[in-house]
Amino acid sequence: MKVAVGATEYVLPGPGETSEVLKAQNPDWRMDDIEKKTGVLKRHVAAPGITAVDLAEEATRKLLDSDRLDQEPGFLILVTQSPDYVLPTSACVLQDRLKLPRTCMAFDVNLGCSGFVYALAIAGGLIETGVASPGLVVCAETYSHYIGEGDRTTRPLFSDAASATWVEASDLDTLGPFVMGSDGAGCENLIVYGSGARGLGDGQSNGLHMDGSQVFMFTMDMVPKCVEALLDKADLTSADVDQYVFHQASKLVIDNIVRRLDLEEGQVFRNYEQIGNTVSASIPIALTDAIDGGRIRQDDTVMLVGFGVGYSWGGCLLRGGFSV
């Protein structure tokens, strides 16, 4: 049995928050300089009381109501680092809201920017081994609830969003191979203190904390290695990949990845300008926009690469079978 990535839908909450809003609330911010680094001109922020599960429900209903699925899902994998509760698992809450069959296994994956790639690997394994019939990979984040109004490091960058992707059996071998890894030594460089069982330490405060320079150095070290390892595993060259869909971290990050790997700009898809960094949802959203915008053709070879919080990274190939 082989596996393919099928239809994807996504949602972005609200009309979007522009740089003018940030400047009005923080007059000392030099928004021109911030925009040059992030490349983000608009972020999407969930209203108070709207959670990742709420967005996940909206995105998944959009997919289920699209008449592009011909069976009920055998699994529901929810990738989120902003769950409604520590327990129960948010995937079970979502399964009940959607009234999916009780035979549908549901569980969370607590990963951020690499989470979609990890979830594809898990979904592929479930289908190929016959443990489950085709199902759903849902990514949903509301990082804005962790971010303070005056946080210049994270507020101009992160957006809330959700995506829902159908993963199914196929006659074609379109998914894989995969390369994944982690380095927990960098865990405190992107972290929400006080969000779990461990209390606050000296000098720590609640909310999202990011050491941008450390995360950037990790990215510049590991992402090129991940790409090269995946090309080697697939016996391909960088030119054999028609489109690279990286986690939409920021303009600065993707500019430097392109430079380090000596890629052609036309090979690299970007959509962060009007969407921002949507964490686990960024790759499925970018993949959807690339297909809808004609950047990915039916038989293209596409590389997906996620990286960030954890530290964690993962890459995989999608080879053809796109519905364009």
CATH architecture group of domain 176-319: 3-Layer(aba) Sandwich (3.40)
The CA distance from 218 to 98, in Å, is 39
Neighbours of 102 (CB within 10 A): 9
Q: Is 65 exposed, middle or buried (0-12, 13-18, 19+ CB in 10 A)?
A: exposed
Per-residue pLDDT, 264: 96
Structure tokens at 205: 């405060």
* Predicted pLDDT at 70: 80
User: CA 223 to CA 280: how far, in whole Å?
Assistant: 16
Please give the C-alpha separations between residue 280 and each of 20, 99, 114, 125, 237, in angstroms, as whole numbers: 26, 24, 6, 20, 27
pLDDT value of position 262 = 97
Q: Active site includes 113?
A: yes
* Fold matches, 2-172 and 176-319: yes
Active-site residue flag, 26: no
Task: Say which of 189, 247, 271, 316 is annotated catalytic.
Answer: 247
List the catalytic residue out of 113, 139, 226, 316: 113
What does each of the 324 residues of the chain score in pLDDT, given as a tens digit? Answer: 699 999 999 999 988 999 999 999 999 999 999 999 999 999 999 999 999 999 999 999 999 998 878 889 999 999 999 999 999 999 999 999 999 999 999 999 999 999 999 999 999 999 999 999 999 999 999 999 999 999 999 999 999 999 999 999 999 889 999 999 999 999 999 999 989 999 999 889 999 999 999 999 999 999 999 999 999 999 999 999 999 999 999 999 999 999 999 999 999 999 999 999 999 999 999 999 999 999 999 999 999 999 999 999 999 999 987 875
DSSP element (H, E) containing 277: none
∠ CA(282), CA(287), CA(290), 5° rounding? 120
C-alpha span between 76 and 92 (Å, rounded): 9
Residue ranges covered by each domain of the chain: 2-172, 176-319
In CATH, the architecture of 2-172 is 3-Layer(aba) Sandwich (3.40)
CB atoms within 10 A of CB 67: 7
Predicted local distance difference test score (pLDDT) of residue 107: 98
Nearest Cα to Cα of residue 242 among 123, 149, 324: 324
Residue-wise pLDDT tens digits, 125-150: 999 999 999 999 999 999 999 999 99
Residue 203: the pLDDT is: 86
Q: Are 43 and 74 in contact (CB under 8 A)?
A: no
Phi/psi of residue 264, nearest 5 degrees:
-75, 140
What pTM, to 2 d.p., does this model score?
0.96
Residue-level pLDDT at 86? 92
What DSSP assignment string belongs to 127-149? Answer: HHTTSS-SEEEEEEE-GGGG--T
d(C-alpha 179, C-alpha 1), whole Å: 21
Terminal CA-CA length for the chain: 24
With CA atoms as reference, report the closest residue to 132 among 177, 182, 72: 72
- Has 277 been annotated as catalytic? yes
Q: Which of 44, 104, 226, 277 is catalytic?
A: 277
State the Cα–Cα distance between residues 183 and 312, nearest whole angstrom.
6
